[in-house]
Amino acid sequence: MAKKARVYDGTAWQELASAQTDLTAYSTTAQVSSTYATQANFPAGAWTSYTPVVSGTGWGIGNGTRTGKYAQFGKTVHFSANITFGSTSTYGSGGVVFISLPVSGNAGTENLRFVSFDTSTSTQYFNQSRFENSTTIVAVTLNANGSVSGYFTNTNPFTWATGDSITVTGTYEAA
């Protein structure tokens, strides 16, 4: 079965005959250049797996789980990381939590969504993260106005426990 390429023309998804199709007609609305519309620049297949590292003073995954995946197209990296804390995980002593990136990035280019889940209240917290350095991100909490109100710690945005989780997704520029 042949895979079909699609491009968004600004109003709807349009199916293309192949990844080699000339996309010049879509370059204004979809910002796609026919120069890059080749299979070499749009690789097919599964994303690459990586294991995100959880760090910070006193933070440890213990018997929790960590999974991640990413796809890199030129200098653009799309990624997702999932962390679920286990019964032997540790949550720091007031220090912030850091998560590793799959590919070194350029600080200031991130657009990363950070979601945490508190199993005791079945509540999701939608936050953001920013680069701590080129290989690590740090989660920040937001107030009702969308401004940074603090960092994730052992008690912010909630007191962490077994089964609580973090999901980070986003796109950033590789170094």
Indicate the domain borders of the chain. 5-36, 48-173
In the structure, what pLDDT confidence band is assigned to residue 111 with cuts at 50, 70 and 90?
A: low
Q: What is the pLDDT of residue 16?
A: 61
**31-64 pLDDT, tens digit each:** 444 434 444 455 556 799 999 999 999 999 999 9
CB atoms within 10 A of CB 108: 9
Beta bridge partners of 50: 68
Return the minimum-mean-pLDDT range out of 36-40, 75-79, 164-168.
36-40
Highest mean pLDDT among 19-33, 36-50, 148-162: 148-162
Higher pLDDT, 3 or 150: 150
Q: What is the pLDDT of residue 141?
A: 79
Q: What is the pLDDT of residue 23?
A: 46
Specify whether the CB–CB gap between 117 and 165 falls below 8 A: yes
Q: What is the pLDDT of residue 146?
A: 72
In the structure, what pLDDT confidence band is assigned to residue 27 with cuts at 50, 70 and 90?
A: very low
How would you label 110-125 residue by residue, b for 16+ Cβ within 10 Å and e otherwise? bebebebbbeeeeeeb
**5-18 pLDDT, tens digit each:** 565 555 556 666 55
